[in-house]
Amino acid sequence: MKINGYTRTCGLLGNPVEHTMSPVIHNTLSERLGQNLVYVPFHVPSGHVREAVEGAYALNLLGMNVTVPYKSEVIPFLKDIDPLAGQIGAVNTLVRVENGYKGYNTDMPGLYRAMCEDGVRIEGEKVLILGAGGVARAVAMLLAQKKAAQIFLLNRSLDRAMLVAEEVNRIAGRELAEVMPLSEYDRLPAGERYLAVQATNVGMFPNVEEAAIEDEKFYEKVHTGYDLIFNPSETRFMQKVRSYGGRAYGGMKMLLYQGIIAYELWTGVQVERELAAEIYDRLLQEI
């Protein structure tokens, strides 16, 4: 790609950013689509988020992604926020507007697009969410929006899970989400099989031999497992789901599509499925 005075820049704000896969997504998109745009990661030290956002705007950056630990911290420094991002309480994409940036959350639309492509249904499903952190909260919001029949939040800390469940039930207008300790999954109704979303960091590289739940009896209850971890591309959770006859998917397509949706917001172009598949293969090679 030729870089010149017309080249636009997008980037990633985070801490750390050294192992990000996002440049693979965005720079490949620019190359394939003939866009004069480059994507660069920016390591932002703690306490400097405001300066980073204002500096990005002053430097005429077209847009930014935001990763941990700044997805909520960045919100006060934005000119506007998309309703979905406001509901989730987290922003991962900044789009340049007059006098600043508008914040979006493309993580959950990315997850939904990935699930649809993998043939995973949400509407009418009974769903288990492992974890109750920010990602699990966002997943629960998505499930409520897409009309899941029931949600069980399994977490070590019940207090945190209760807060998520109360918020989801308030938004849904019904008792959609229930809470139980991670160790007490055997309280789930006998004979039921569930869609399970693994939303903890257990099993993430380099601790690839771990799973949030090890007991095989849990996996007998899972017809489909979706692990939001993308490295490794096949987690222990996924292996255990498959060993009991379930379908299992990892977080790589979510990573892919959250990036693609951000790129579409920045540039106004539509990324075709064939190009998405090409970049997905490249991500797998990078891992």
The pLDDT tens digits for 51-101 are 999 999 999 999 999 999 999 999 999 999 999 999 899 999 999 999 999
Q: Who's near 83: CB < 8 A, 6+ residues apart?
A: none
Cα separation, 64 vs 11, whole angstroms: 5
Positions marked active-site: 71
* CB distance 136 to 155 below 8 Å: yes
Q: What is the pLDDT of residue 134?
A: 87
Longest dimension (CA), the chain: 64
Q: Who's near 269: CB < 8 A, 6+ residues apart?
A: 33, 35, 263
* One-letter amino acid for residue 113 of the chain: R
Mean pLDDT score of the chain = 96
Task: For domain 8-105+253-286, give the fold.
Answer: Rossmann fold (3.40.50)
Answer yes or no: is pLDDT of 1 > 80.
no
Instruction: Judge if 8-105+253-286 and 109-250 fold alike in CATH terms.
Output: yes
Q: Where are the domains of the chain?
A: 8-105+253-286, 109-250
Cβ neighbour number for residue 159 with a 10 Å cutoff: 9
Reported confidence tier of residue 180, pLDDT bands at 50, 70, 90: very high
Q: What is the pLDDT of residues 3-60, one digit of tens each?
A: 999 999 999 999 999 999 999 999 999 999 999 999 999 999 999 999 999 999 999 9
Classify residue 131 as left (phi > 0), alpha (psi -120 to 50) or beta: left
* CB distance 92 to 68 below 8 Å: no
The answer as to CATH 1.20.58.220 being correct for domain 109-250 is no
Task: Report the interhelical angle of 107-117 vs 252-267 (nearest 10°).
Answer: 120
* CB distance 18 to 42 below 8 Å: no
And the tokens for 95?
């789009």
Name the burial class of residue 86, with classes exposed (0-12), middle (13-18) and buried (19+) by CB atoms within 10 angstroms of its CB: middle
Cα separation, 172 vs 166, whole angstroms: 10
